[in-house]
Homo-oligomer: A and B are copies of this chain.
Amino acid sequence: MKLSSETTDRRIKKSKKAMQQALLEWMEEKDFKSITITNIVQRADVNRGTFYKHYDYKEQLLEDIMDEITADLKEAFRKPYKSKAMLELPELTAPSVKIFEHVLKHDHFYTLVIASNMLTGFQYKLVSILRGLVLEDLLQAAGDEGIDQRLQAGYHSHAIFGLIVEWVHGGFEHKPDYMAEQLLLIIRNRPAEVVFKAEN
């Protein structure tokens, strides 16, 4: 008798890896939209049925690739942080430096995904992770003046994502330390009269 074992069948891993690799290669050559399932399976040298056995559409295949990137982001937060930047910047910005270092580590992928327009799935994952981290800290820090902490978490997680988008669009012309410093400055700033000017 054969029960569902813990480790996935080597054939599955092999097929998935081949298709993931094929998709990434095609993405270097042409627009995501114009890449067909047939393209992918031909380059991966697997049957089209194999694709449909594991995925419903190509976006799902991309999400599989994204999962590895976001796993790295999560891991980056667990490791203790040691670097020059930490000595120069306030201690509390360390985790945010990690974010930007993570993005820079995968700069090619981030550029590919953000520059084109298929980040829905990726953005969702990324923001969800950031939101979780922010919310965790907010709950520990305990209530501030009647602020809805879910809204606050949604606000800050998207905000950091926005910073990443700007960074990518600018072609990574700044160092991660600079980005973390800017994040701190923006947060510390009193932008009430700046975010939206009152009409006279």
Interface residues of A (CB under 8 A from B): 33, 57, 80-81, 90-96, 117-121, 124, 127, 133-134, 137-138, 140-141, 144-148, 150-163, 165-167, 170, 179, 182-199
Minimum Cβ distance to chain B for residue A144 (Å): 6
Most B CB atoms within 10 A — which of A144, A148, A193? Answer: A148
Please tell me if the beta carbons of A137 and B92 are within 8 angstroms of each other in the complex: no
Most B CB atoms within 10 A — which of A153, A166, A170? Answer: A166
Please tell me if the beta carbons of A165 and B154 are within 8 angstroms of each other in the complex: yes
Main secondary structure on chain A at its contact with chain B? helix
Task: Identify the closest chain B residue to A121 (Cβ).
Answer: B117
Q: A120-B119, A154-B166, A192-B188 are in contact. Are A148 and B182 (CB under 8 A)?
A: yes
CB neighbours of A120 from chain B (8 A): 117-120
Minimum Cβ distance to chain B for residue A91 (Å): 4
Q: A90-B198, A137-B194, A151-B167 are in contact. List 7 more A-B contacts (CB 8 A).
A: A92-B192, A92-B196, A96-B196, A154-B166, A156-B195, A157-B162, A184-B192
- Cross-chain pairs A/B with CB under 8 angstroms, 24 sampled: A33-B57, A90-B192, A91-B198, A92-B192, A92-B197, A95-B199, A118-B120, A137-B194, A137-B195, A137-B197, A138-B194, A140-B197, A144-B194, A146-B185, A147-B186, A151-B186, A154-B166, A155-B159, A155-B163, A156-B162, A157-B162, A158-B161, A161-B162, A187-B195
Please tell me if the beta carbons of A145 and B185 are within 8 angstroms of each other in the complex: yes
Nearest 4 A-B pairs (CB), nearest first?
A158-B162, A154-B166, A159-B159, A92-B198
CB neighbours of A57 from chain B (8 A): 33
Copies of this protein, total:
2
CA of A191 to CA of B146, assembled, Å: 14
Minimum Cβ distance to chain B for residue A186 (Å): 5
Please tell me if the beta carbons of B93 and A196 are within 8 angstroms of each other in the complex: yes
Please tell me if the beta carbons of A145 and B197 are within 8 angstroms of each other in the complex: no
